[in-house]
Amino acid sequence: MESRASNALSRELGDALRRARRRSTVRFTDLAEELGWSEARISKVERGLRGTSPLDIARYVGHLRSDQATYDHIMELAEERNTGHLVRPHKIAMPDSLRALLLHEQTAQVIWSYQLVTIPGLLQTVDYAAALIGSPDSEHGVAERMARQRIFDRPRPPEGRFFILEPALHNVVGGPQVMYEQMLQLLFRGGVRLVTLARQLPASLIAAFTFMTFTEHSPVSYVESGPVSLFSDEVETTIQFERACNDLDRVALSEEQSRSVFAEWADRFDRLREEQRGSGGPAVA
């Protein structure tokens, strides 16, 4: 099969193959020889740039002598039909381990994130994430979420454009102390803008979403809904999310205006936590 433009499914499959190869003891050159492939072909398959039959994928994994779970997972991806939409299950509020999410966040040029009632996961403090996830999964879930945030520590990080709907500030996650620290995080982080309820929202902004753009392939949208997440790179879907991003840019407060609001909320939560300490009990925002 000839080289082609990659899609979200082919990239997820390629990522799974690459990770399986790196976990094995089989050298890259030896794998190419055993398969009768060029090293360039293996590289393209692992980058999602070349179509390959399920039979060839089975041969690939077989030469790696991967375990049964790895083989089953890869073959499930190889046999999945590309529709431009990927549905991936996960625990509620815990999409952080999804490879489809991680590999796209790690290679994105720009990440647009819009949230309605919570702070975006890539901006959450440790305590906010722990309170949101809840026990018994909080320790592992928080570690995965904080690991995701390390994409901004790279020499060439993606540009983050974060938009938060006003009700997220009223949603007191973990109490005043946690919210105070979270407001400080927003206050000193660039690229964060508030969408207020002072004006009617366009229909494109009634649901949360993430939209990622890339230098080497087409954009990918991501929508989380309870215990499943949907990833899309279908053309018409992409056009609609591009319009939604334009709407966000139009209706949101500026970064400077947003920082002023975050500062006001930080002061409010600071007073509430002091009241809580003075009374010896919980305070309500």
Query: What dihedral do alpha carbons 262, 268, 273, 277 form, nearest 10°?
Result: 160
Residue 157 shares a structural domain with residue 29: no
pLDDT in tens, 36-52: 999 999 999 999 998 88
DSSP string computed for 96-139:
TT-HHHHHHHHH-SEEEEEESSS--GGG--HHHHHHHH-TTSHH
Whether 4 has a pLDDT exceeding 70, the answer reads no
Boundary residue ending a domain (54, 79, 104)? 79
For 103-113, the pLDDT digits (tens) are: 999 999 999 99
Residues 107 and 47 in one domain: no
Per-residue pLDDT band for 1 (boundaries 50, 70, 90) equals very low
Instruction: Give the residue numbers spanning the domain of 219.
Output: 85-279
Average pLDDT, the chain: 94
pTM for this one?
0.92
Based on the fold, state whether residues 210 and 249 are members of the same structural domain.
Answer: yes
How many Å apart are CA 137 and CA 91, to the nearest integer? 10
Q: Distances from the Cα of 38 to the Cαs of 4, 99, 115, 131, 197, in angstroms?
A: 17, 27, 45, 50, 57
Question: Which of 79, 98, 121 is the C-terminal boundary of a domain?
Answer: 79
Mean pLDDT of 66-82: 96
Q: Can you tell me the distance from the alpha carbon of 13 to that of 15, in angstroms, rounded to the nearest whole number? A: 5
- Choose the final residue of a domain: 41, 60, 79: 79
Q: What is the C-alpha separation between 283 and 285, in angstroms, rounded?
A: 7
* Secondary structure (DSSP) of 72-95: HHHHHHHHSPP-SEEEEE-BTTB-
Q: What pLDDT does residue 263 have?
A: 98
- Both 163 and 60 in one domain: the answer is no
Mind listing the pLDDT tens digit for each residue in 135-145?
Answer: 787 899 999 99
Angle 8-23/54-64 helices, nearest 10 degrees?
20
Q: In terms of pLDDT, which residue wins out, 283 or 51?
A: 51
Give the pLDDT band (50/70/90) at residue 276. Answer: confident
Token pair in block for residue 105: 């966040």
- pLDDT tens per residue, range 229-270: 999 999 999 999 999 999 999 999 999 999 999 999 999 999
Q: At what angle do helices 138-149 and 126-133 cross, to 10 degrees?
A: 140
Helix (H) or strand (E) run with residue 176 in it: helix 176-187
- pLDDT tens string 140-192: 999 999 999 999 999 999 999 999 999 999 999 999 999 999 999 999 999 99
Predicted pLDDT of residue 282: 61
The answer on pLDDT for 33 being more than 60 is yes
Total number of domains constituting the chain:
2
Look at residue 3 and tell me if it is in a domain. Answer: no
**pLDDT for res 238:** 97
Taking the C-alpha atoms of residue 32 and residue 216, their distance in angstroms, rounded to an integer, is 25
Q: Which CATH number characterizes residue 200's domain?
A: 3.30.870
